[in-house]
Amino acid sequence: MKKHEPPSARGGFTLIEAVVATAIVGMGVCAMMMASQAGTRVNADSQELTRAAYLAQEVREWIATLPFKDPDVGQQNNPPGPDGSSPQVFVDDVDDMKDVTYSPPRDGQGTAIAAMSGWSQKIKMTWVNPTNFAAVVADGASNVIKVRVDILRGTKTVLTTTWLVTKGSAQ
């Protein structure tokens, strides 16, 4: 009579081991996909912010080329602000850009950038006390203007930046 021999060790995986391994691999793949999506979103946001910074810089360059006061003697006593319709098409001094929105946005020479039609540059100017930039004064009552530019893509504000323009810094 033959003795009963114990079953020999098998070389395969049990069903539970296979399920656990599949779950671990699945979680790893999901994590990699989520990381990839986050990277894509960050890249898109960074491109959008770069474009917005470019558009803000274009406004700054444009303003830097303009005289502080209107060169047209007949309009020098006009109150600060656009001398025409909004958006101001003819800009010959800094205050012509007060409370103007350009859509499509403008480049550093005031030319519309047609390729960026979904974007806009919203410009706000306030005159401030030269010794206390937090103190707002009446329009035109100071040689220091605080310029705020909001760059929008559609209705979403992508970037807001502010700088000072002084009579000596403008042409």
User: What DSSP letter does each residue of 17-74 carry, written as one string?
Assistant: HHHHHHHHHHHHHHHHHHHHHHHHHHHHHHHHHHHHHHHHHHHHHHHHTS-SS-S-GG
pLDDT tens digit sequence for 63-92: 999 998 877 777 767 777 776 666 677 888
With beta carbons less than 8 A apart as the criterion, state whether 92 and 73 touch: no
**pTM given for the model:** 0.73
pLDDT tens digit sequence for 95-133: 889 999 999 999 999 999 999 989 999 999 999 999 999
Please give the pLDDT value at position 39. Answer: 77
What residues have CB less than 8 Å from 107, skipping those under 6 apart? Answer: 58, 62, 113
Please give the pLDDT value at position 89. Answer: 75
Helix or strand (DSSP H, E) at 15 = helix 15-64
With beta carbons less than 8 A apart as the criterion, state whether 130 and 143 touch: yes
With beta carbons less than 8 A apart as the criterion, state whether 91 and 121 touch: no
Domain ranges of the chain: 39-166
pLDDT over 60 at 9, yes or no: no
- Average pLDDT over the chain, rounded to an integer: 86
Please give the pLDDT value at position 129. Answer: 95
43 or 102: whose pLDDT is higher?
102
Please give the pLDDT value at position 81. Answer: 74
